[in-house]
């Protein structure tokens, strides 16, 4: 066993290593800390959140970024990594959710849809899925994006004609921010026999900004489309119309 005397080069070296290790630990250079925190506010425009660390409600820490696989939501409990005074949210706990919304309505018996498209009317519909409050806006026939990113959007809608006057061309499409000239994705069909039933189904990946919205629009290319039964959930026959928006990742 070698005795190290105070003041010797070996002693100074050992002391320096001990001080450096303590400093590194304190600043997280070599030993970053895993901490728990609660999300108390979010800022979708900057993709950041405000957190309270370790149950300390007296200090709010803002401007915190999160991993690409997680979307902050108020009241979420999260895991974060602390490196000195820097914080980064790595993941939410098992009960956290990602943005997703799906609207459903039983029927839209008759829709006046001529050569110009109209928004499908979701009056009486419900949000079958809504993980982030405020995504469904049934009163305005739309779903609202709560956080920027790549989303899977889609819709299914059945349409029926039972009269010679309904023998017309028909189209349904998804629209971003009520744009009627640049559809996200669409389905269309030509004229058919006077009695017909068909379902349009469409989906697409799209980049959305905070507060962008999604609507389902329908149109017919002739006057015969004024009495097409869009949706066809009438009389409880099991058919209905759905539209959805699901977050897939940061853009």
Q: Which domain holds residue 212?
A: 100-249
Q: Is the pLDDT of residue 61 over 70?
A: yes
Kindly state whether residue 190 falls inside one of the protein's structural domains.
Answer: yes
Kindly state whether residue 22 falls inside one of the protein's structural domains.
Answer: no
Max Cα separation, the chain? 106
Which pTM value belongs to this model? 0.78
Measured torsion, CA atoms of residues 56, 57, 58, 64, in degrees rounded to the nearest 10? 80
Quick one: pLDDT band at residue 43, thresholds 50, 70, 90? very high
pLDDT digits (tens, 9 = 90+) for 105-131: 886 655 555 667 888 888 888 999 999
Mean pLDDT taken over the chain: 82
Kindly state whether residue 3 falls inside one of the protein's structural domains.
Answer: no
Comparing 11-15, 198-202, 211-215, 245-249, which segment has the lowest mean pLDDT?
Answer: 11-15
Tell me how far the alpha carbon of residue 38 is from its chain's centroid. 21
Kindly state whether residue 145 falls inside one of the protein's structural domains.
Answer: yes
Considering the domain architecture, whether residues 108 and 84 belong to the same structural domain is answered as no
Considering the domain architecture, whether residues 114 and 169 belong to the same structural domain is answered as yes
Kindly state whether residue 204 falls inside one of the protein's structural domains.
Answer: yes
**Boundary-marking domain end, from 92, 121, 138:** 92
Q: In 3D, which of 249, 231, 243, 156 has the Cα closest to residue 201? A: 156
Considering the domain architecture, whether residues 178 and 202 belong to the same structural domain is answered as yes
In the three-class reduction of DSSP (H, G, I as helix; E, B as strand; rest coil), residue 148 is classed as coil
Considering the domain architecture, whether residues 203 and 183 belong to the same structural domain is answered as yes
Considering the domain architecture, whether residues 121 and 208 belong to the same structural domain is answered as yes
pLDDT digits (tens, 9 = 90+) for 137-184: 999 999 999 999 999 999 998 887 766 666 777 888 999 998 888 888
Q: Is the pLDDT of residue 9 over 70?
A: yes
Considering the domain architecture, whether residues 76 and 147 belong to the same structural domain is answered as no
**pLDDT at site 234:** 60
């Amino acid at each position: 066993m070698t005795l190290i005397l105070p003041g010797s080069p070996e002693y100074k070296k050992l002391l320096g290593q001990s001080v450096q290790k303590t400093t590194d630990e304190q600043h997280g250079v070599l030993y970053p800390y895993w901490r728990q925190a609660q999300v108390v506010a979010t800022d979708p425009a900057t993709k950041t959140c405000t957190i309270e660390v370790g149950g300390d409600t007296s200090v709010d820490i803002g401007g915190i970024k999160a991993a690409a696989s997680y979307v902050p939501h108020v009241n979420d409990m999260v895991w974060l990594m602390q490196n000195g005074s820097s914080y980064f949210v790595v993941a939410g706990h098992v009960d956290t959710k990602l943005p997703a919304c799906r609207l459903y309505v039983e029927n839209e018996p008759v829709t006046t849809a001529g050569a110009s498209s109209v928004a499908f009317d979701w009056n009486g519909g419900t949000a079958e899925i809504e993980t982030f409050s405020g995504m469904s806006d049934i009163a305005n026939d739309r779903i609202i994006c709560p956080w920027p990113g790549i989303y899977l959007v889609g819709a299914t809608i059945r349409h029926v004609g039972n009269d010679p006057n309904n023998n017309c061309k028909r189209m349904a499409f998804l629209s971003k921010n009520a744009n009627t000239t640049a559809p996200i994705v669409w389905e269309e069909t030509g004229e058919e026999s006077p009695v017909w039933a068909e379902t349009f189904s469409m989906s697409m990946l799209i980049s959305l900004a905070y507060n962008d919205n999604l609507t389902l629009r329908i149109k017919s290319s002739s006057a015969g489309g004024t009495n097409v039964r869009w949706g066809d959930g009438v009389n409880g026959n099991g058919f209905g119309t759905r539209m959805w928006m699901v977050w897939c990742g940061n853009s």
